[in-house]
Chains A and B, each alone.
Chain A
Amino acid sequence: MNAEPRILHTPAEVTLADAFSAARGDLPGDAGVAAARVVAFDAFQKKGLPHRRTEAWRYTDLRALLRSVPPAPPAEPASIAIADLLPGLDRARLVILDGIYRPDLSDLSGLAGVEVTGLDTLLDQGDERVGALAGRLDDAMVTLNTAMMAGGVAVRVPAGLDVTRAVEIAHVTSGAYSVFARNVVTVGAGASLRVVETFTGPNAAASVANIVTEAVIGDRAKVTWAKLQAEGDAAVHLGTTAVSIGGESQFDHLTLMTGAAISRSQSFVTYGGEFARAGLFGATMIGGKQHADIMLGVDHAVPNGASRELFKAVMDGKAEGIFQGRIVVRPGAQKVDGKMMTQGLLLSEDASFSVKPELEIFADDVQCAHGATSGEIDEDMLFYLLSRGLPRAEAETLLVTAFLAEAIEGLGDEAIGEAFEQIARDWLAGRKTLA
């Protein structure tokens, strides 16, 4: 008998360990990738699922929330239904079905000059684009993704190319499966790209999607990126976006969270060159017993960067909204200008909102600020609209839409913004009036 203490694993952790041993022989990648998978899984197993005492995950205790882990998806799903959540938005479409890139279901028109490859090809070639950014993150879900990633898509925009048609990366889950996907997007110097990332799946299917996207944005490039998380109502969504932005580049990102039972969306933005600007926006609309957590990390590693963050959340029913934001200004990163705002609107007695906006600053010549508010609909505003003859439901919808629109419009892309605002209006139309 050895006397070493036994580490207790939750049933979910045990299932994950079994899933890894069963799958590792079949997962794509060369010898280097295979070795990295083992290292990553060991690292994950040592720490286990993040829990209450894991500071970055304190409001999303996966050890308690993730009771079981569904099986891996079958090679070919029984039926494929891909909903169009953004009618009216002209875009090319790359479909990732159950974590695997499907050229047969995709539409690449308008993407001349853009290189689109399945992730398996990159892994088999040991391409260094995979893990270039995610490898630097110390996060259990990213580490787990590194061990288990089965597919995804790689997009490369050559320098100087202006891609005008929006590109949708559509993640579709066909049932109650565990999905691990990794996408890699590379935008060359001076190029431009508009991305819409969507996440959907059927209701009542307890799927777990762990999806990591790495985006390297070159100098002077301009990228607009909107994420729409509209998973099925029993799903668990664990999404991470790691971005590095080059000198004088501009990066605008919007996260709209409305689906899934439990969701966590993480964005980590690192400044790789001076005079880059990033706008990071979020709109969360949840009800029932939904739990939506947004984690944001902005790393001003170089001087002269600017960032704007605006995150809005509307919680109805017994929903739990969470925002954790962190702006880091590294030693020597002078003249940084960072402003972060987060606002929560509670529509019901039992809803809750937790925020932790952090500033970590090691340079003196900076301007950084953050703000946070939490409350209910302003009675005065409501009264004003009622006195103008608007029915209560309509007045509330108007106020809530206006509240969310500020964040959605921050993206600065009219077509995408309009499509996302429609989703907000539909969500509001679907909920009952306040008592």
Chain B
Amino acid sequence: MPAVQETVDQVRRIDVDQYKYGFVTDIESDRAPKGLSEDIVRYISAKKNEPEWMLEWRLEAYRRWLTMTEPTWARVHYPKIDFDDLYYYSAPKSTKGPKSLDEVDPELLATYEKLGIPLREREILAGVEGASDRRVAVDAVFDSVSVVTTFKEELKKAGVIFCAISEAIREYPDLVRKYLGTVVPTTDNFYATLNSAVFSDGSFVYVPEGVRCPMELSTYFRINERNTGQFERTLIIAEKGAYVSYLEGCTAPMRDENQLHAAVVELVALDDAEIKYSTVQNWYPGDKDGKGGIYNFVTKRGDCRGDRSKISWTQVETGSAITWKYPSCILRGDESQGEFYSIAVSNGYQQVDSGTKMIHLGKNTRSRIISKGIAAGRSDNTYRGLVSAHRKASGARNFTNCDSLLIGDQCGAHTVPYIESKNASAVFEHEATTSKIADDQLFYCLQRGLTSEEAVALIVNGFVKDVIQQLPMEFAVEAQKLISISLEGSVG
């Protein structure tokens, strides 16, 4: 029977490894010398043709970083990182900044093709039939540089700026200077400060007043080079009444070394603006014995600076050996809204410590947190979140729901919420549950003829439905598949 054969194939695939983005692109690259020093910071800045103020900014962050120590409060364990044993800059030799698609190395284009990210503008993002009228502009970041940004011209017509941040620093210095580091200051935390010193590329988005961005914006991050760290920086600004939806995806080759990814994302939403930020994080998680994989230490923060503004984070976390990530919202403007939807799936020896912070400062601010953690194998999955109401945040509302699902008896699921209310009229509700897949649900599916893997995938997809619904359609389909793949081999 074909169904059975399919299952057998599926199971066989798991035996090898289920990470399908683990290939390496053989491309000549230009690297900075190994290690970190003021000279390396200068080197990166010079490579990017940055103005003097940017270099000063980086150097200040670097000096600050030297005085800082690594945070140890997260529930993750890993050997100490030797920050002098990394390459902080690596770029494919053939590319001198993103210009036109025709100048891009075909090898690179093929890489993105293979990843399912078409960079030719006539094409659309893979996956969904009947979505041909939906277009997505892509900024493709390969190691330390942005190789191409699509639909730039068309976006420009609408007044939207979408480009690599290194380009923005040169082309729109006033905007960058006004907002860079205002949400995540250079002194914020160890990894954010490191990023401020050595960040190489990332995306810059500026949506002017009253403009609804005509298409989805997206950045695809790819780590290729051995021994490098990727430090990208993303800055998104939505002016009054603007709207933008931004997607982020990432993968890396399979290597038996651990690679560092320390990104910083800053979002600024002014009056009545809305930013929707979605991530499908699928960095290489390491092999079945926990060897290799990406350390994903990321600082993401949105500032609802204007009244009635809204920032929504949606994340699907399936990759990385270690995830340390807390996309947060500072609800500064009155009646502003923050949302956080998360699915974190961990398998093998993965460690996830993720969650959010909702900081209510303005009046009548609202936030909602929906977090679904799924732990399988020997992984540890922690939700860590903070909801706080400032003394002046009268009428603040929060609803938090975090559920954990355990698959197997060797994994751990943890919930560490912090709730701090300094205002009587702030109403906070928090609920959390931890359980395993109910035997009766599983039995029901099995007796309907599903295999146990299909049954688990079905039940898990039901479990995470609340979050999947928040993703843009193209990503929702992808995310659903990703979750099934991540859990393969976890049912025994």
The interface of chain A, by Cβ under 8 A from chain B, is: 55, 331-332, 334, 344, 346-376
**A363 to B, closest residue via Cβ:** B409
Whether the Cβ atoms of B433 and A369 lie closer than 8 Å is yes
B430 interface residue (CB < 8 Å to A): yes
Given A363-B409, A374-B428, A358–B416 Cβ distance below 8 Å? yes
B434 touches A359 (CB 8 A): yes
Q: Are A365 and B436 in contact (CB under 8 A)?
A: yes
Separation of A55 and B74 alpha carbons in the complex (Å): 11
- B406, B433, B434, B436, most chain A CB atoms within 10 A: B434
Nearest B-chain residue to A357, judged by Cβ? B417
A334 touches B409 (CB 8 A): yes
Contact B431 A364 (CB under 8 A): no
Cross-chain contact B432 with A359 (CB below 8 angstroms): yes
Cβ 8 A contact of A366, one of B73, B420, B428, B436:
B436
A-B contact count (CB 8 A): 114
A sample of 18 cross-chain residue pairs with beta-carbon separation below 8 angstroms, ordered by A number, consists of A331-B409, A332-B409, A334-B409, A349-B424, A353-B421, A355-B419, A355-B420, A357-B417, A358-B414, A359-B404, A361-B413, A364-B407, A366-B406, A371-B432, A372-B417, A372-B431, A374-B419, A376-B425
The chain A residue sitting closest to B439, CB to CB, is A365
Contact assessment for A364 and B409 in the assembled complex, using a CB-CB cutoff below 8 Å: yes
A370 neighbours in B (Cβ, 8 Å): 415, 430-432
- Name the contact of A374 in the complex, choosing from B414, B415, B426 (C-beta under 8 A): B426
* Assembly CA distance A355 to B230 (angstroms): 37
Q: Which residue of A lies closest to B428 (CB)?
A: A374
A332 to B410, CA, bound (A): 9
Interface status of B435 (Cβ within 8 A of chain A): yes
Q: How far is the CA of A376 from the CA of B73 in the complex (A)?
A: 33
Q: Is B265 among interface residues, defined by CB-CB distance under 8 A?
A: no
Question: Are A375 and B427 also in contact (CB < 8 A) when A359-B432, A365-B409, A369-B433 are?
Answer: yes
Closest residue on chain A to residue B413 by CB atoms = A361
How close is B104's CB to chain A, nearest CB, in angstroms? 48
Q: Could you tell me which residues of chain B, from 429 to 449, have a CB within 8 Å of some CB in chain A?
A: 429-436
Which residues of A are found within 8 Å of B410, using beta-carbon distances? 331
- Where chain A touches its partner, the secondary structure class is strand
Looking across the interface, which residue of chain A has its beta carbon closest to that of B434? A368
A347 and chain B: residue at smallest CB distance: B424
Q: Does B172 contact A (CB under 8 A)?
A: no
Please state if B421 and A344 are interface contacts (CB–CB under 8 Å): yes
Residues facing A in B380-407 (CB within 8 A) are: 391, 404, 406-407
Q: Is the CB of A354 within 8 A of B424?
A: no
Partner of B424, one of A351, A355, A363: A351
Q: Which residue of chain A has the shortest Cβ distance to B73 in the bound complex?
A: A55
Known: A364-B407, A372-B428. 5 other contacts (CB 8 A): A358-B415, A359-B415, A364-B409, A369-B433, A373-B429
Q: In the complex, which residues of chain B have a beta carbon less than 8 angstroms from the beta carbon of A352? A: 420-422
A-B CB proximity, top 3 nearest:
A346-B424, A364-B406, A375-B427
Return A163 CB to nearest CB of chain B, in Å.
38
- The answer on a CB contact under 8 Å between B421 and A360 is no
Cβ 8 A contact of A361, one of B406, B408, B427 = B406
Contacts of B426 in A (CB 8 A): 374-375
**Pairwise interchain contact A369-B434, C-beta atoms closer than 8 A:** yes
Q: Closest residue of chain A to B412, judged by CB? A: A362
Write the chain B residue with the least CB distance to A354: B420
Q: B423 contacts the other chain (Cβ, under 8 Å)? A: yes
Residues of B within 8 A of A364 (CB): 406-409, 411, 436
Q: How far is the CB of B271 from chain A (nearest CB, A)?
A: 27
Q: Is the CB of B433 within 8 A of A368?
A: yes
Is B418 an interface residue, CB under 8 A from the partner? yes
**Chain A min CB distance to B470 (Å):** 23
B419 engages A354 (CB within 8 Å): yes
Residue of A nearest to B414 (CB): A360
> Are B412 and A356 in contact (CB-based, < 8 A)?
no
Q: Is the CB of B428 within 8 A of A373?
A: yes
Chain A: which residue is nearest B380 at the CB level? A362
Chain A residues lying within 8 Å of B414, measured Cβ to Cβ, are 358-361
A230 vs chain B, min Cβ distance (A)? 25
B432 touches A354 (CB 8 A): no
A367 to B434, CA, bound (A): 6
For residue B425, which residues in chain A have a CB less than 8 angstroms away from its CB? 375-376
| Chain B residue with Cβ nearest A365 | B436
How far is A362 from B425 in the complex, measured between Cα atoms in Å? 37
**Which residues of the other chain, B, contact A372 by a CB distance below 8 angstroms?**
417, 419, 428-431
Instruction: Check B416 against A375 for contact (C-beta < 8 Å).
Output: no
Chain A residues with CB under 8 Å of B404's CB are 359, 361
Question: Within the assembled complex, what's the spacing in Å between the Cα atoms of A266 and B431?
Answer: 23
| Residue of B with least CB distance to A316 | B424
Shortest CB–CB separation between residue B259 and chain A, in angstroms? Answer: 29
Residues in A with CB closer than 8 Å to B417 are 355-358, 372
Least CB separation from B429: chain A residue: A373
Distance of A356 Cα from B411 Cα, bound (Å): 23
- Of all chain B residues, which has the CB nearest A321? B421
Residues of B within 8 A of A55 (CB): 73
B385 smallest CB distance to A (angstroms): 10
Closest-CB distance, A70 to chain B (whole angstroms): 31
Minimum CB–CB distance for A319 against chain B, Å: 11
Min CB–CB distance A394 → chain B (angstroms): 20
- Residues of chain A contacted by B422 (CB below 8 angstroms): 352
Asked if B412 and A360 make an inter-chain contact with CB atoms under 8 angstroms apart, the answer reads: yes
Q: Cβ of B431: which chain A residues have Cβ within 8 Å of it?
A: 369-372
A354 vs B423: C-alpha distance in the bound complex, in angstroms? Answer: 11
How far apart are the CA atoms of A373 and B435 in the complex, in Å?
Answer: 22
Question: How far is it, in angstroms, between the C-alpha of A372 and the C-alpha of B398 when the chains are bound?
Answer: 11
List residues 2-54 of chain B with CB under 8 A from any CB of chain A: none
B73 CB to closest chain A CB (Å) equals: 7
Q: Are the CB atoms of B434 and A366 closer together than 8 Å?
A: yes
User: Cβ of A373: which chain B residues have Cβ within 8 Å of it?
Assistant: 427-430
Q: Could you tell me the distance between the alpha carbons of A356 and B434 in the complex, rounded to whole angstroms? A: 16
Nearest Cβ on chain A to B45's Cβ, whole angstroms: 35
Most chain-B CB neighbours within 10 Å: which of A344, A356, A357, A364?
A364
User: B199 to chain A: closest CB distance in Å?
Assistant: 29
Residues from chain B with Cβ under 8 Å of A359 in the complex? 404, 413-415, 432, 434
Complex contacts, B436 vs chain A, CB 8 Å: 364-366
What residue in chain A is nearest B75 (Cβ atoms)? A360
Given contacts A364-B407, A364-B436, A368-B433, contact A376 B413 (CB under 8 A): no
Which residues of chain A come closer than 8 Å to B427, judged between CB atoms? Answer: 373-376
Shortest CB-to-CB span from A360 to chain B, Å, is 5
Given the interface pairs A367-B435, A369-B433, the reply to whether A349 lies near B418 with Cβ below 8 Å is no
In Å, the complex CA distance between A293 and B133 comes to 58
Q: Within the complex, which residue of B415, B421, B433 is in contact with A346, where a contact is CB–CB below 8 Å?
A: B421
Contact with A along B65-96 (1 / 0, CB 8 A): 00000000100000000000000000000000
Distance in angstroms between the alpha carbons of A357 and B431 in the assembled complex:
10
The residue of chain A having its C-beta at the shortest distance from the C-beta of B398 within the complex is A374
